[in-house]
């Protein structure tokens, strides 16, 4: 295969609409409704050696593409059985400790079963939700910490961004366990919808675990179960929309790390503050062109080559923040300016290098600092009244932001004021509740466009156009 063909193939893999954002439903009941009724095409069963295979055949007959989820150590066995039964693929549930073995196993499975999709599942996502601060102990005494706090959101955005780098070219595929909600409480339509909305907005694939009571209710045509699921279906429909397939996340902050940690708290807080960032490894810094990044945050320990690249990025105009920097680097030939007890600044070409002398102990403050460093001129995106909303901008190949995906975790509808970098004449707002699309009034000034979203309940999508 020529390099050109290989490049085209890779591009197809990356932008393939089918692989852009899919919800796989995890099922464990003995019967199941037809795919057309459930509104999902991908269904996942846990692999059990020696278990009867009738359910797999039934699922296929009912219109599903069937996947089998298996731990890495049983993957070969599962793949063999799965290929025989006409499954669409197998999903490898990979623990962090097994990551090193994964690539080898995948290559070997793909070679042995070329018609079988082999996907890697990250099982350590979290249930998306907004959180209070009450804690109740077993003796029923409430304990409460008492800081002055903004609402805390559990979101998977940072986790997905890190997975996007570590699993590429596979679209991140993740799952999470529902928080134990007690014996009489099960996930609500809003809980499921929020999970689906996240996966869609962040363009990841999700294995959605369906509560057993819901599965049973759907099987016995229970009205409440279907009413719940029909709400989720409207979210599934919007999330599965592949119109965004040729777009990629817009980001003007690069985060360079030595190790990809899916639970990195700094990345989590950057996400919470709606700072569009992309994750790279230190090795990427040597091979990839980091163009279009206004801020580069370096957590990796720079070697001589990396340090030279950092200097070049600063020379070209970026602000490079080197965290926990200790050592002799060429940018230190410039006149140092001590900004405060933590940070020294060096002017380098059109940009600068900021050396933070310690590791980040307060990711919240650090994220706010990065937001301030970007300043108004370089903010791709700003939200007002958006404490509970995560927004992800997507750009086309011309690097123009054309889509904004929004997820609101508040459990309440909110009115949102948005500013996006770029001048747009048409703002169209799509929601699961009202479909596509409501026109919003844009106000443009100084290269930015502002508009008001009258109400976002859980998810919303903004299409931006300039004529």
Partner 1 sequence: MRFDKRLAAALVIVILSAGLSAQSSGEPILVYKEKYVMGTVFEIAAYAESSEKASAAIDKALQEIVRMDDLMSNYKPESALSRLNRSGHFHTQKVPPDLYRVIEQAVQFSKLSGGKFDITVAPLVNLWKAALSGDSMPSLSQRQQAEDCVGYKKIELTPPDQITFRSSCMQLDLGAIGKGYAVDRAGEMLRSLGVCNALINSGGSTILAMGSPPGQPGWLVHLRDPSHKIDPYVMLNDQSVSTSEQTAVSLLAPESAGHIIDPVTGRPIDTQFAVSVITSFGTPSDGLSTTLLLLGPKVGKSLVDGMSNVSAIWISPKAEIETVTNGPNIFFGKQL
Q: What stretches of 234-350 adopt beta strand conformation (E)? A: 248-249, 253-257, 277-281, 295-298, 319-323, 336-338, 343-348
From residue 357 to residue 376, the character string flagging contacts with partner 1 as x (rule: CB under 8 A) and all else as - is ---x-xxxxx-xxxxxxxxx
Distance CA 415, CA 412 (A): 10
Handedness of CA 101, 102, 107, 112 (dihedral sign): positive
**Interface with partner 1, residue 452, by CB under 8 A:** no
**Contact between 267 and 228 (Cβ < 8 Å):** no
- Closest CB 155 distance from partner 1, rounded Å: 12
CB of 313 to partner 1, least distance (A): 17
Contacting partner 1 within 396-415 (CB under 8 A): 410-412
Chain residues 170-189 in contact with partner 1, contact rule CB under 8 A: 179-185
Q: By rule CB under 8 A, what string of x and - marks binding of each residue 13-52 to partner 1? A: ----------------------------------------
443 binds partner 1 (CB under 8 A): no
Per-residue binding string, partner 1, 75-114, x by CB under 8 A, is ----------------------------------------
Q: Which is nearer to partner 1, 42 or 264 (CB)?
A: 264
Closest distance to partner 1 from the beta carbon of 46 (Å): 23
226 forms part of the interface with partner 1 (CB under 8 A): no
Residues 75, 121: Cα–Cα separation, whole Å? 13
Rounded Cα gap, residues 343 and 266, in angstroms: 18
Write down the least CB distance from residue 374 to partner 1, Å. Answer: 6
CA 255 – CA 301 distance, rounded (Å)? 13
Helix (H/G/I), strand (E/B), else coil: 290: coil
Q: Does 467 bind partner 1 (CB under 8 A)?
A: no
Distance CA(53)–CA(47), nearest Å, equals 10
- The Cα–Cα gap between 444 and 425 comes to 8
**Phi, psi dihedral angles at 266 (to 5 degrees):** -65, -45
Applying CB under 8 A, does 418 fall inside the site for partner 1?
no
Note whether 418 and 392 are within 8 A (CB): no
Which residues in this chain contact partner 1 in the complex, by CB under 8 A? 126, 130-138, 140-152, 154, 179-185, 265, 269, 321, 339-340, 342-343, 354, 356, 360, 362-366, 368-376, 379, 382, 384-385, 387-388, 410-412
């Amino acid at each position: 295969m020529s390099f050109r063909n290989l490049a085209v193939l890779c591009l197809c893999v990356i932008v393939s609409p089918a692989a852009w954002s899919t919800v796989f439903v995890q099922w464990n009941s003995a019967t199941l409704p037809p795919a057309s009724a459930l509104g999902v095409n991908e269904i996942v069963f846990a692999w059990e050696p020696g278990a009867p295979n009738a359910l797999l055949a039934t699922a296929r007959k009912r219109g599903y593409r069937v996947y089998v989820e298996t731990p890495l150590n049983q993957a070969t066995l599962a793949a063999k059985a799965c290929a025989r039964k006409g499954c669409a693929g197998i999903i490898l549930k990979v623990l962090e400790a097994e990551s090193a073995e994964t690539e080898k196993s995948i290559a070997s499975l793909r070679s042995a079963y070329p018609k079988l999709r082999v996907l890697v599942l990250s099982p350590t996502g979290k249930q998306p939700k907004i959180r209070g601060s009450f804690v109740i102990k077993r003796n029923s005494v409430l304990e409460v910490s008492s800081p002055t706090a903004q609402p805390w959101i559990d979101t998977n955005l940072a986790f997905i961004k890190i997975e996007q780098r570590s699993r590429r070219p596979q679209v991140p595929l993740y799952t999470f366990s529902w928080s134990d909600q007690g014996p009489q409480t099960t996930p609500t339509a809003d809980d499921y919808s929020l999970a689906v909305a996240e996966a869609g907005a962040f363009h990841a694939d999700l294995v959605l675990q369906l509560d057993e009571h819901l599965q049973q209710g759907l099987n016995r045509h229970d009205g409440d179960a279907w009413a719940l699921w029909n709400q989720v279906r409207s979210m599934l429909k919007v999330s599965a929309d592949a119109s965004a397939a040729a777009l990629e996340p817009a980001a003007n902050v690069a985060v360079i790390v030595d190790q990809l940690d899916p639970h990195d708290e700094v990345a989590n807080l950057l996400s919470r503050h709606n700072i569009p960032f992309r994750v790279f490894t230190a090795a990427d810094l040597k091979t990839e062109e980091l163009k279009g990044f206004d801020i580069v945050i370096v957590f990796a320990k720079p070697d001589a080559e990396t340090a030279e690249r950092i200097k070049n990025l600063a020379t070209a105009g970026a602000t490079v923040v080197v965290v926990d920097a200790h050592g002799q680097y060429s940018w230190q030939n410039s006149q140092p300016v001590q900004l405060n007890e933590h940070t020294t600044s060096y002017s380098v070409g059109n940009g600068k290098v900021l050396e933070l002398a310690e590791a980040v102990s307060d990711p919240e403050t650090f994220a706010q600092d990065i937001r301030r460093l970007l300043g108004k001129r370089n903010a791709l995106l700003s939200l007002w009244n958006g404490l509970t909303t995560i927004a992800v901008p997507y750009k086309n190949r011309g690097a123009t932001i054309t889509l904004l995906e929004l997820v609101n975790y508040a459990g309440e509808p909110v009115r949102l004021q948005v500013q996006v970098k770029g001048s747009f004449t048409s703002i169209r707002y799509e929601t699961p509740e009202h479909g596509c699309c409501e026109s919003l009034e844009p106000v443009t000034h100084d290269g930015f466009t502002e508009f008001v979203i009258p109400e976002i309940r859980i998810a919303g999508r903004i299409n931006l156009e300039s004529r």
